[in-house]
Chain A
């Protein structure tokens, strides 16, 4: 629970917010001085104990960073967000979102930008990628549901027919960009070309798979761009259980994508249209 946005904040309040016992004394060890500007924006960092502190600096402070992300967290398996846990070696999922798997290891030096907003990982389209250290757990069988959402930026110069933004072992549910048309493609038993173009700067994409359509004959893959439904499709019920995966290429390399990824989310259920819009709204001020 975040601290109040105005009024008095006691040492006990701050201790409690930081997960400590309520006492009348307060110690601020391990603080991050440079995070001053973030204190009122749900930052997990707090002031340096050598600096004078005003209570106002703690207004709205919330050590639970997930509360600071207003996107959909129900059913979230992992959110890789360039603003959290990203360095030149690896990219771990956002700390407090829940989920059971986490680290992507960078291979062959994709460019990591965490110096000026918006943060991202840039893949050069030659041989770099980020590979999973734990297999995906979402999608237990062909009747399971999943959603993949992205903030991405195509930097052009595509050289392969199906450049992988995300690749899975066995090519299940690979998400790729067409080299000639820049249309988003999904491999779901066959390559499906959507009418969504991956171009025009930063944009939010969501691919949501609702397996109930398999049995009742309705569309069960829905594609969204910037929070709006663009297309629906009836695809085979491929699943992604226990699959390794990679960003920027196939997990073993090849069909490398040239572009930037700011955020990547995996859900084990199909998001609704309003939930996709929530995800877009949560970060459109940052990546678009």
Chain B
């Protein structure tokens, strides 16, 4: 299923979150963004062209697609360790 073709994501240092104009991006506020496991990085998303306040971020990485972002989220940097699964045989 092809999804979010026009959606773009940019990762940057949390220290710059105050520079983001939340009227330009799809996140609600600085309080609702998702943080990396060590809480040093976050990302924002938008549809179409990169907003001005995002362009101005000095720590930003490359613009990412939805598929690339989802791949990134599978890494340890973005996934907190969860409790182990209990197989059905041990219920």
Contacts and interface: CB of A to CB of B under 8 A. Distances in A.
Contacts of B82: 161-162, 191, 255
Interface in B45-71: 45, 66-67, 69-71
A155 B91 contact: no
Interface string A234-248: 110000000000000
B43 interface: yes
A58 B80 CA distance: 56
Contacts of B83: 187, 190-191
Nearest to A187: B83
B71 A126 contact: no
A108 B91 contact: no
Most A C-beta atoms less than 10 A away, residue of B33, B34, B35, B45: B34
Contact of B84 (A107, A128, A190, A195): A190
Contact of A109 (B1, B28, B69, B87): B28
A120 B78 CA distance: 28
Given A157-B67, A190-B83, A127 B33 contact: yes
B16 interface: no
Contacts of B79: 160-161, 255
A155 B2 CA distance: 10
A160 B7 CA distance: 20
Nearest to B29: A107
Contacts of A124: 3-4, 7, 45, 66
B1 A185 contact: no
Given A108-B32, A126-B73, A192 B67 contact: no
B27 to A, nearest CB: 5
B91 A235 contact: yes
Band of interface residues on B: 20 to 34
A109 B27 contact: yes
A235 B86 CA distance: 11
Interface in A249-283: 253-256, 258
A156 B32 contact: no
B43 A126 contact: yes
Contacts of B9: 126
Interface string B14-39: 00000000000011100011110000
Contacts of B33: 108, 127, 253
B85 interface: yes
A253 B86 contact: no
A127 B85 contact: no
A189 to B, nearest CB: 9
B88 A109 contact: no
A125 B91 contact: no
Contacts of B45: 108-109, 124, 126-127
21 contacts: A106-B28, A107-B27, A107-B32, A109-B45, A126-B70, A126-B73, A127-B43, A127-B45, A157-B1, A160-B79, A192-B88, A193-B85, A193-B87, A194-B88, A233-B91, A234-B91, A253-B32, A253-B35, A254-B34, A256-B34, A258-B70
Closest 4 CB pairs of A and B: A109-B26, A127-B34, A190-B86, A107-B32
Interface of A: 106-109, 124-128, 155-157, 159-162, 179, 185, 187, 190-195, 231, 233-235, 253-256, 258
Interface of B: 1, 3-4, 7, 9, 26-28, 32-35, 43, 45, 66-67, 69-71, 73-74, 79-80, 82-88, 91
